[in-house]
Structure 1
Amino acid sequence: MISQLSWKIGGQQGEGVESTDRIFSTALNRLGYYLYGYRHFSSRIKGGHTNNKIRISTQPIRAIADDLDILVAFDQESIDLNAHELRRGGVVVADAKFGPMLPDHVDARLFPVPITSIAEELGTSLMKNMVASGASWALLGLPMEVFNKAVEEEFGRKGAAVVAKNIEAVQRGADYVLELAGGPLEDFKLEPADGKQKLFMIGNDAIGLGAIAAGCRIMSAYPITPASEIMEYLIKKLPKFGGTVVQTEDEIAAITMAVGANYAGVRSMTASAGPGLSLMMEAIGLSGMTETPVVIVDTQRGGPSTGLPTKQEQSDINALIHGTHGEIPKIVLAPSSIEECFYDMIEAFNLADKYQLPVIVVTDLQLSLGKQSCEQLDYDRISIDRGKLVEEAPEIEAGGLFKRYELSEDGVSPRVLPGQKHGIHHVTGVEHDESGRPSENAANRKRMMDKRLSKMEQITVEHPIHAEMPHEHPDLLIISMGSTGGTIAQAREQLEREGITTGQMMVRLLHPFSAEAVKPYVEQAKRVVVLEHNATGQLANLIKLHVGGKEKISSVLKYDGNPFLPSIVADECRKVCQASKELV
């Protein structure tokens, strides 16, 4: 029996690849397995190769596997593009309709199943995804009733007849492949899972759930990959809590509406990707100037311009920190797991209110859209901090105004809501005095700039980094952000077995950068590798700027749209260590 297995399904976009993956992984989740999925898809509605890969394990996992055990192929292109991942003795379940052939260099078992023909016999070729998933499920020897339950949940709203037809398609696929293989494959038999209930979601869902838990009640947004699922999730969920989602005409309207709603006292947010973030920059500056809290989610993807809208990248770091015109205080948080996506959204709303500024939560496509198992969330950890929101404003003299931007030691002023008694004041995007009246007075300008920027010195964020340093002076410290944490952890296992001592750091707080948290670890390590999905080493440059250590920092960069694999990370780290030895 084996403790983990990798499964992939490939075909043309619109062929049911996504629904096959969803039902297959849902059934595995019901059994209690840990799962980590990654979607490779084209930037078009229909057509173009797409594949979904799932890693299944009896232990927690946070990375896709280097190799592949089972490939389900709806067309020859899926075999041609993905067969190189198959391990020796792997399996391909392919639609017999196209006469599947394995490349000469691939040592795998091919099971041609008349997937389309069986589906058509049952009434529609649309059911071929059920035939294919039933076949691959049967090869694993897993209980068919669990899979049928997942099918029932998927199609139950369409009626009993549809459910019955799909279950029949599953069984027909299972029966056919078992006859070909002579029964379930013993070398692919998974060890039993722990059976414990786990959450199984994409990062975008966790972000949406975190926003609800934080008290967000308005989301204004414009659809864009890979952020759209946040809006889609909240469209379904927010109305149940008295909230709403507004699909705006563009990203400029989305951010200004979110700023306005926050000014009115409702916790509000927006979400986008790189191109949308560019359009939002002026209004993010408005949030900073008017000291109005707002939360923005940036789901990074391949750029610039339209770039690679459905591919992995982490190239917005400079824009997130420096993108706005002028100088404003802001916070940039980078969660690195599904759980952090949830908890960091709650913290983002609290920080935005506490310091009265924009907070950007940045993910990447792999974290946003990769579906993963996570433990049950702890709702007792949730607390709401509205900062200096004044319940009762003090009386003011006739004709006077509330000092909304009153100078204070920590740079944060008392805040009132529109219409509040004694709270009348000006709000404007131009420079202003303590009551909000426009002012171009030089002395006032300096005081107000100093006031706003002084917030950066006061900001306190717990756990600005996540570090694991089992050795006092490791050969290598690997630093990264976002979705790559699990991949690095697996690569480190390979390196440690070879005698290369390692440490790991995930940078969670990108801005304001916590040099005091990062510096001790950089100083301890003999060499430092900064791993990131961009072409210019933006995270590495940020570390060099604030911490130094240029002479010991190397960059490992990947910007071809594909995620890092553990073996690639291990190989690149070996090269750095070898080069270091040669220099000595």
Structure 2
Amino acid sequence: MINQLSWKVGGQQGEGIESTGEIFSIALNRLGYYLYGYRHFSSRIKGGHTNNKIRVSTSQVRSISDDLDILVAFDQETIDLNYKELHDKGVIIADAKFSPIKPEDTEAKMYAVPFTDLAAELGTSLMKNMVAVGATCAVLNLDISVFEVVVQEIFGRKGQQVVDKNMEAVKAGFDFMKENLGDTAELMELEKADGKQRLFMIGNDAIALGALAGGCRFMAAYPITPASEIMEYLIAKLPQLGGAVIQTEDEIAAVTMAIGANYGGVRALTASSGPGLSLKMEAIGLSGITETPLVIVDTQRGGPSTGMPTKQEQSDLMAMIYGTHGEIPKIVIAPSTVQEAFYDTAEAFNLAEEYQCPVIVLSDLQLSLGKQTVEPLEFDQIEIRRGKLLTGELPEVENKGYFKRYEVTEDGISPRVIPGMKNGIHHVTGVEHDETGKPSESAANRNAQMDKRFRKIENITFKTPVYKYAPHAEADLLIVGFNSTRGAIEEAVVRLEKDGIKVNHAQVRLIHPFPTEELLPLVKSAKKIVVVENNATGQLANIMKMNVGHAEKIHNQLKYDGNPFLPHEIHTNCKELF
């Protein structure tokens, strides 16, 4: 028996590859296994190679695996592109329809199964993906009955006949494969899972759910990969809570509508990816100078320009901190797991209102679209804090003047009101202004307002600015990452420890203002530092050098080919330093 399995299904987009992986993984999740899935797909609606790699384990996993146990292929291209991931005892299950050819330089076994023909015999070739699921069950010696509930949930609305036909397709694939396996039937039988029920979700769904829990009641957005699922989730859920989603004509309209809603007292969100954030930058500056709360989600992808819209990258870091013209206070947070994405997004709304500035929730494609097992979320951990938002009756302003919306205060945070409050009238403008909001170009006023705005973020309170795994007071190596690199780093740490190297790990969750005090002790106590990031210029490493120094210790591990890190890549690179 094995306690972990790596399974991949591939073919042309539009062939049901995603649904094959979805059905397979949901069923195993229901059995209590931990899963992590990552889709490789082209930036087109139909056609082009796509695959879904799913890792199944009896313990928590947060990254895709180095190798592959089973490859399910709907075309020869899938075999040609992915077979090298298979280990020597791996299995290829291929549709007999395309007369699959096994590459000569692999020891993996290949079985040609008539996915298409078996499905056609049952009424439609569209069910070939269900035949493939059944064939996989045979290799795993898995009872196909575990799929009955999932098939009912997915196809039930189409009628019981469709449900029954799909289960017949699963059985047909299982029976055919069982007959052809011979004595190898138990080679990949999985150890039993604990049977506990857990969530199975992508990071974008967790971000959207976190927004709901954090009191968001309005979203304005324009569709863009890989952020669109956030809007799609909230389109379905926000109206149930009295909220609304507006698909705007462009990203500029989206961010300005979100600013307007926040100014009116409604917690509002906008979400996009790198190209969209570029368009939002001027308006983010407006949020900063008018001190209007604003939460923005940036799901990073391959750039520049259109770049590689469906591929992994982490190259927006500097843009999110320094992208706006002029200087404004802002907060940038970067969750590293789906659970953190939920809690951090909810907290982003508190930070935005408490510090009256833009808060950017930074994600990346792997975190946003990677689907993984999530422990039950604790909604009672979520609290709503609205900062200095005044409620009730305001005192009458002296001499019937304007309310001091931008009053210079010791902590830099001014009292805030919403439109229509008696005695709360004030001016709002994107030009520099005095305490009442009236335009002012006075040098003294400029200094006072700039200093006030930046005082706000001198003492940001964020629960976990750095995730730390630091068992060593003095470490040979400190590995630092952000966002989705956490899982691959964690596995590399385990392997390096087995090699006798003392390793600490830090995952930066508060990117700006940078958590120097939290990170500096780990940096000082490490002999060498490796910063792992999916970009070409070492953006996080450069930010660390600016804030914590010790540049002579810092080594980059960079990957910018559109693929996420694998554990062995980090392990190998780090080991070479010793």
TM-score bracket, normalised by the shorter chain, equals over 0.9
Show the counterpart of 2:186.
186
Q: Which amino acid aligns with 1:120?
A: A
Q: What is the correspondence of 1:68-467 to structure 2 with a 5 Å cutoff?
A: 68-182=68-182, 185-392=185-392, 393-397=394-398, 399-467=400-468
Q: Deviations over 1:118-146 (max 9, x none)?
A: 12222222111111112112321222121
Compute the displacement of 1:369 (Å).
0.2
Q: Which amino acid aligns with 2:271?
A: A
Q: Distance in 1 between matches of 2:490 and 2:205?
A: 24
Show the counterpart of 1:29.
29
Secondary structure of 1:475 counterpart: strand
Q: In structure 2, list runs of 5 or more residues that go unmatched.
A: none
Q: Is the 8 A contact 1:140 1:184 kept in 2?
A: no
Compute the displacement of 1:184 (Å).
7.2
Q: Distance in 1 between matches of 2:313 and 2:490?
A: 20
Q: Distance in 1 between matches of 2:15 and 2:260?
A: 42
Q: Which amino acid aligns with 1:285?
A: G
Q: Distance in 1 between matches of 2:111 and 2:102?
A: 11
Q: Distance in 1 between matches of 2:46 and 2:185?
A: 34
Compute the displacement of 1:508 (Å).
0.6
Q: Is the 8 A contact 2:218 2:269 kept in 1?
A: yes
Compute the displacement of 1:398 (Å).
5.5
Compute the displacement of 1:183 (Å).
7.3
Q: Which amino acid aligns with 1:423?
A: G
Secondary structure of 1:187 counterpart: coil
Q: Distance in 1 between matches of 2:532 and 2:332?
A: 19
Secondary structure of 1:562 counterpart: coil
Q: Distance in 2 between matches of 1:247 and 1:441?
A: 41
Secondary structure of 2:79 counterpart: helix
Q: Distance in 2 between matches of 1:78 and 1:275?
A: 31
Q: Distance in 2 between matches of 1:148 and 1:100?
A: 30
Q: Distance in 2 between matches of 1:166 and 1:416?
A: 58
Secondary structure of 1:207 counterpart: helix
Compute the displacement of 1:462 (Å).
2.2
Structure 1 stretch 133-142 or stretch 348-357: which is displaced more? Answer: 133-142
Compute the displacement of 1:526 (Å).
0.6
Shift >2 Å, 4+ stretches: 182-185
Show the counterpart of 1:580.
none
Q: Is the 8 A contact 1:476 1:528 kept in 2?
A: yes
Q: Is the 8 A contact 1:410 1:458 kept in 2?
A: no
Q: Distance in 2 between matches of 1:514 and 1:174?
A: 54
Q: Distance in 1 between matches of 2:539 and 2:339?
A: 25
Q: Distance in 2 between matches of 1:333 and 1:522?
A: 20
Q: Deviations over 1:84-131 (max 9, x none)?
A: 011111111110001111111111111111111112222222111111
Secondary structure of 2:475 counterpart: coil
Q: Which amino acid aligns with 1:448?
A: Q
The normalised TM-score by structure 1 is: 0.98
Compute the displacement of 1:433 (Å).
1.0
Q: Deviations over 1:196-221 (max 9, x none)?
A: 01010000000000000001010100
Secondary structure of 1:139 counterpart: helix
Q: Distance in 1 between matches of 2:539 and 2:159?
A: 52
Q: Distance in 1 between matches of 2:472 and 2:146?
A: 45
Q: Which amino acid aligns with 1:240?
A: Q
Compute the displacement of 1:574 (Å).
1.4
Q: Deviations over 1:490-525 (max 9, x none)?
A: 111111111122110000110000111111100100
Structure 1 stretch 395-404 or stretch 234-243: which is displaced more? Answer: 395-404
Q: Is the 8 A contact 1:151 1:166 kept in 2?
A: yes
Q: Is the 8 A contact 2:144 2:170 kept in 1?
A: no
Q: Is the 8 A contact 1:138 1:184 kept in 2?
A: no
Q: Is the 8 A contact 1:495 1:502 kept in 2?
A: yes
Q: Which amino acid aligns with 1:142?
A: L
Q: Distance in 2 between matches of 1:250 and 1:481?
A: 29
Secondary structure of 1:418 counterpart: coil
Q: Distance in 1 between matches of 2:21 and 2:417?
A: 49
Q: Distance in 1 between matches of 2:421 and 2:157?
A: 48
Show the counterpart of 1:581.
none
Q: In structure 1, list runs of 5 or more residues that go unmatched.
A: 578-584
Secondary structure of 2:507 counterpart: strand
RMSD: 1.0
Q: What is the correspondence of 1:483-494 to structure 2 with a 5 Å cutoff?
A: 483-494=484-495
Q: Which amino acid aligns with 1:249?
A: E
Q: Is the 8 A contact 1:476 1:527 kept in 2?
A: yes
Q: Which amino acid aligns with 1:13?
A: Q
Q: Distance in 1 between matches of 2:345 and 2:132?
A: 38
Q: Deviations over 1:215-263 (max 9, x none)?
A: 1010100000000011111111111111111100110001000000000
Show the counterpart of 2:496.
495
Q: Distance in 1 between matches of 2:261 and 2:331?
A: 20
Q: Distance in 1 between matches of 2:450 and 2:128?
A: 63
Show the counterpart of 2:471.
470
